A and B are shown apart, each in its own frame.
Chain A
Amino acid sequence: MKKQNRRDFLKSASLLTVGVAGLSTKTAKAGPKNVLSEDRMGVLVDTTVCIGCRNCEWACKIAHGLPTEPQDTYQDRSVFKEMRRPTVKALTVVNEYPNPLNSEIPTDVKIQCMHCDHPACVSACIVGAMSKQENGSVIWDTNKCIGCRYCMVACPFQIPAFEYNKAINPKIMKCDFCFERTKEGKLPACVEICPVEAITYGPRSELIKVAREKIKRFPDKYIDHIYGEYEAGGTSWLYLANQDFSKLKFPKPGDKPMPGTSESIQHGIFAYFVPPVSLYALLGGIMWITKNRKESE
């Protein structure tokens, strides 16, 4: 660092500021928005109705082109001995829990991506490969994903699965709310096949009304809690149950949207790039002053 007069310094410093400011307007437009359309769709899962036939598991695999055993093998109830989680080979799974009202009929719970209204995975994804669609689904874009697995760290329901044993183009696998099927006007595969109508597809706002009505009409059959109405800021998938959801191994993410804190910190640090540019200017000032002091000594 030799000769550097004041004019040079100001010239280059202002150039840099302009450059950075130019960048900031671009970033403001980029980044995924949370599309929260009024008539976004949802699914209401009534765990008191589900019989654990696991046909949804089979239909899901067929709909997503995943390898599967024949449909009749899904009647095997021994899988319920262990709690299962969605994997890269099964985007939805059914687990069984004891039923406090009737020990003869256990409670079966289908799990899959909850399709949050304010998805942590969408906020976290480094390249915006996760996105919330207008119809409520949270989907993943294979063309963007770099496989960093930050979505899995962020997800409050621990849903996304990663193809750990693939060396080339490993995928993040999770329920996509049958995005391709619903676009064609079809029902999600699991909803379509359910023989007992334990899962209902419809506008989320309507489903909440239906769920409330059910709770009101059968106060003995349901606890007064629609899981997913407020959890993690609201989810597209909603659940009814006859016992506390923690007994059915549902997590307690709280009612605030997951990305709230981190996004406000991020946007605070980068408010129109003012803090970084000010820091740059401040350091430049210190550098200039200390340099002058050195020279005058």
Chain B
Amino acid sequence: MELITKPAPIKKKFFTPGVIILLLLALNGIAFLLVRFFFGIGSVTHLNNQYPWGIWIGVDVAAGVALAAGGFTTAALGHVMHKEHYHDIVRPALLTAMLGYTFVAIGVSIDIGRWYYIWHPLIYWNGNSALFEVGICVMMYLTTLYIEFLPVVTERFIGRVNLKGIFSFLNKPIDKFLRVLDNTLSKVMFLFIILGVVLSTLHQSSLGTLMIIAGPKMHPLWQTPILPLLFLLSAISVGFPMVIFEALIASRSFGLKPEISILSDLGRMVAPILGVYLAFKIGDMVIRGTFVYLTEFNVYSVMFVIEILFGVIVPLRMFLSRAVLKSPLLLFIASSLVIFGVLLNRINNFIVAYRPPYSYGPYFPSIGEISVTVGFIAMLVLLYRIIVMNFPVISQPDKNYFPKTKFAIRGSEK
């Protein structure tokens, strides 16, 4: 590695005009959430007995899980395959996954009617239910993500615990505890990293199984028995574009130089994965003969074509081009298109393709639903900002460079 980089908290002013806007959006979402909690789901959403699931499930949960796939794909690359070259992006991707899944969990809780029973799947099991599997896996994966993030917390505080006043006597024990924790974690972390990857492949695919039981209620362009495979492949293919997207936005927002060599190497891997996804998607369409539905001109065929053309084919072509891989702007556009494609795919699967037999009219999300979804995204971005400003997440050129040492105390290791 030419440049020595090390994760460190970013020193910048917290409040910017963008942050104020995000705060307002978050508050707006919270306002609608309060209405939901006091007057029920019906008071805020356009959901009804025909359309039981809206964007809170389609976007907040389904797309949220998919777009947090950067966590497990980079963990597989950086830790399982030991590609040290990519280590700088593992932590930001981990943080995004952790926050993403946190908001998925919150999103589920506000969408279910009895949010205070969110823990019921832990004791009432239904092994036949795809949703049960998704629920259990997401709970376990969220825990795993928090454990994976712990070393960042210990790294931040070891040697820096400094409680004032009457609590000062706690400084030493806490520091000791953090050191023990860090030491233990570094020995067993590989177990959690592998577990995280396994859990991700499981629930990313089972999320696709969810709509299979709706059978003919789902438009045949999307309803296929290989939905779990398509969901897994699309999640894997959006993992790296999501990391590139965030890295470019974060470096812009914090005025850092993007690590374009890492990002373009990541980008190089996107095209083959997208290609496999596209092959399965098209192959499935040919085998089931569903291309006949593309000759009709309606919302289904249009949405399907947009999803495949702008979400898969165009970015696939872009990622194959050398010029795109070298240019931050083009890389950003290509990554955004993949993200758009997967987001649209989840919306299509959960909302557009769903055709209840006795619908009184199409479902369109209400202002309240959109506000809450946007509010959650704003909160996620704000939390990300707070965490990277206070914890060593984003790698920066290191001035006091100590090779191979995490903390000065670790004399025993090399």
The reply on A218 being an interface residue by CB < 8 A is no
Q: A126-B132, A144-B120, A153-B211 are in contact. Are A283 and B216 (CB under 8 A)?
A: no
Choice from B114, B202, B357 contacting A147 with Cβ under 8 Å: B114
Q: Closest CB of chain B to A13's CB: distance in Å? A: 7
- State the B residues within 8 Å of A (CB): 36-43, 45, 47-50, 52-53, 76, 79-82, 84, 108, 111-115, 117-118, 120-121, 124-133, 135, 186-191, 193-195, 197-198, 201-202, 205-206, 209-217, 225, 228, 354, 356-358, 413
Closest 8 pairs (CB-CB, A-B): A147-B113, A164-B42, A149-B52, A152-B52, A127-B124, A128-B126, A170-B113, A31-B127
**B358 A249 Cβ-Cβ under 8 A:** yes
The reply on A21 being an interface residue by CB < 8 A is no
Choice from A27, A279, A284 contacting B125 with Cβ under 8 Å: A27
Q: Most A CB atoms within 10 A — which of B195, B198, B206? A: B198
Residues of A within 8 A of B209 (CB): 262, 265-266
Q: Closest CB of chain B to A32's CB: distance in Å? A: 6
Segment 123-180 of A: residues with Cβ below 8 Å from B: 123-129, 144-150, 152-154, 156-158, 160-167, 169-170
Choice from A16, A270, A279 contacting B191 with Cβ under 8 Å: A16
| Complexed CA–CA distance, A122 and B129 (Å) | 9
Choice from B53, B118, B130 contacting A262 with Cβ under 8 Å: B130
21 intermolecular pairs with C-beta atoms under 8 Å apart: A2-B186, A2-B187, A32-B128, A126-B121, A127-B120, A128-B126, A144-B124, A145-B113, A145-B114, A148-B113, A153-B53, A154-B213, A154-B214, A161-B49, A167-B38, A254-B215, A259-B128, A266-B128, A279-B198, A283-B80, A290-B81
Judged by DSSP, the binding face of B is helix
The reply on A78 being an interface residue by CB < 8 A is no
**B413 A162 Cβ-Cβ under 8 A:** no
Residues of A within 8 A of B111 (CB): 148
**A269 B202 Cβ-Cβ under 8 A:** yes
| Complexed CA–CA distance, A153 and B210 (Å) | 9
Q: A16-B191, A158-B356 are in contact. Are A280 and B198 (CB under 8 A)?
A: yes
Residues of B within 8 A of A7 (CB): none
**A287 B82 Cβ-Cβ under 8 A:** yes
**B201 A279 Cβ-Cβ under 8 A:** yes
Contact pattern, A 224-264, Cβ under 8 Å of B = 1, otherwise 0 = 00000000000000000000000001011110001101110
| Complexed CA–CA distance, A261 and B47 (Å) | 27
Q: Closest CB of chain A to B377's CB: distance in Å? A: 22
Q: Closest CB of chain B to A38's CB: distance in Å? A: 23
Q: Across the two chains, which residue of chain B brings its CB closest to A284? A: B194
**B206 A290 Cβ-Cβ under 8 A:** no
**A27 B127 Cβ-Cβ under 8 A:** yes
Q: A30-B126, A148-B131, A258-B213 are in contact. Are A12 and B191 (CB under 8 A)?
A: yes
Choice from A1, A9, A12 contacting B79 with Cβ under 8 Å: A1
Residues of B within 8 A of A124 (CB): 129-131, 213
**A167 B214 Cβ-Cβ under 8 A:** no
**B129 A150 Cβ-Cβ under 8 A:** yes
Q: A4-B187, A165-B39 are in contact. Are A294 and B82 (CB under 8 A)?
A: yes
Q: Across the two chains, which residue of chain A brings its CB closest to B37? A: A167
Q: Closest CB of chain B to A274's CB: distance in Å? A: 13
**A280 B82 Cβ-Cβ under 8 A:** no
Q: Closest CB of chain B to A211's CB: distance in Å? A: 24
Q: Across the two chains, which residue of chain B brings its CB closest to A166? A: B40
| Complexed CA–CA distance, A129 and B210 (Å) | 17
The reply on A186 being an interface residue by CB < 8 A is no
Residues of B within 8 A of A125 (CB): 126, 129, 131
- State the A residues within 8 Å of B (CB): 1-4, 8-9, 12-13, 16, 26-28, 30-32, 83, 85, 87, 120, 122-129, 144-150, 152-154, 156-158, 160-167, 169-170, 249, 251-254, 258-259, 261-263, 265-267, 269-270, 276, 279-280, 283-284, 286-287, 290-291, 293-294
Choice from B81, B118, B125, B189 contacting A286 with Cβ under 8 Å: B81
Q: A158-B356, A165-B43, A254-B216 are in contact. Are A146 and B113 (CB under 8 A)?
A: yes
Q: Most B CB atoms within 10 A — which of A125, A146, A269, A290? A: A146
- A sample of 16 more A-B contacts (CB under 8 A), given A270-B127, A283-B76, is A1-B190, A30-B127, A31-B128, A124-B130, A127-B125, A149-B52, A158-B217, A170-B113, A170-B114, A266-B127, A276-B198, A279-B198, A280-B198, A283-B80, A287-B79, A287-B190
Q: Most A CB atoms within 10 A — which of B38, B42, B43, B190? A: B190
Number of inter-chain CB pairs below 8 Å: 222
Q: Most B CB atoms within 10 A — which of A32, A153, A266? A: A153
| Complexed CA–CA distance, A152 and B354 (Å) | 12
**B39 A153 Cβ-Cβ under 8 A:** no
Q: Closest CB of chain B to A163's CB: distance in Å? A: 7
Q: Across the two chains, which residue of chain A brings its CB closest to B201? A: A279
Q: Across the two chains, which residue of chain B brings its CB closest to A232? A: B215
| Complexed CA–CA distance, A127 and B120 (Å) | 7
Choice from A16, A26, A170, A261 contacting B40 with Cβ under 8 Å: A170
Residues of B within 8 A of A3 (CB): 187, 413
Residues of A within 8 A of B82 (CB): 287, 290-291, 293-294
| Complexed CA–CA distance, A133 and B262 (Å) | 58
Choice from A128, A157, A158, A283 contacting B194 with Cβ under 8 Å: A283
**B48 A253 Cβ-Cβ under 8 A:** no
Residues of B within 8 A of A294 (CB): 82, 84
| Complexed CA–CA distance, A30 and B187 (Å) | 35
Q: Across the two chains, which residue of chain B brings its CB closest to A28? A: B127
Q: Closest CB of chain A to B409's CB: distance in Å? A: 14
Choice from A128, A170, A258, A286 contacting B41 with Cβ under 8 Å: A170
| Complexed CA–CA distance, A164 and B368 (Å) | 14
Q: Closest CB of chain A to B402's CB: distance in Å? A: 16
Choice from A2, A4, A127, A160 contacting B132 with Cβ under 8 Å: A127
Q: Closest CB of chain B to A194's CB: distance in Å? A: 24
**A123 B129 Cβ-Cβ under 8 A:** yes
**A128 B211 Cβ-Cβ under 8 A:** no
**A262 B213 Cβ-Cβ under 8 A:** yes
Q: Across the two chains, which residue of chain B brings its CB closest to A15? A: B191
Q: Across the two chains, which residue of chain A brings its CB closest to B47? A: A164
Residues of A within 8 A of B121 (CB): 126-127, 146
Q: A258-B215, A265-B212, A287-B79 are in contact. Are A149 and B120 (CB under 8 A)?
A: no
